[in-house]
Amino acid sequence: MFRRIDRAGETVTITFDGIPMCVAAEQTVAAALLGQGIATLRSSVVGNRPRAPYCLMGVCFECLVTIDGIQNRQACMTVLRDGMAISSQSGARALDEGC
């Protein structure tokens, strides 16, 4: 369904759930993960069902991931940065007890 247009250019190294991968720079986190064949980025709060990026324009919130320890980041609205540690989310996000 998603096929990358190959462009010679810069790459960045990221991790997803601890797995390192080298991907093209200048794209969103969602595009990079979909390009790597990773479609399930989180599981739903109710029913723990797998969820994948849907709208790719910041509307549906199906692409929420944890990036560098910060939960609920929209993968489709976040541009890749070298060294990003991305992880999938399962269920509801944790709440800070101090807030």
- x/- binding map, residues 37-66, to ligand FES, per CB under 6 A? ----------------xxxx-xxxxxx---
Looking at beta carbons, which residue is closest to ligand FES?
Answer: 76
Bridge partners, 51 (sequence order): 42
Smaller CB distance to ligand FES: residue 14 or 62?
Answer: 62
Taking the C-alpha atoms of residue 88 and residue 82, their distance in angstroms, rounded to an integer, is 18
Smaller CB distance to ligand FES: residue 63 or 67?
Answer: 63
Residue 33 beta carbon to ligand FES: minimum distance, rounded to whole angstroms: 11
Catalogue the E-assigned strands of the chain: 11-16, 19-24, 42-43, 50-51, 64-67, 70-74, 85-87, 89-90
Catalogue the E-assigned strands of 25-84: 42-43, 50-51, 64-67, 70-74
Smaller CB distance to ligand FES: residue 43 or 61?
Answer: 61
**Contacts with ligand FES, residue ranges (CB under 6 A):** 30, 53-56, 58-63, 74, 76
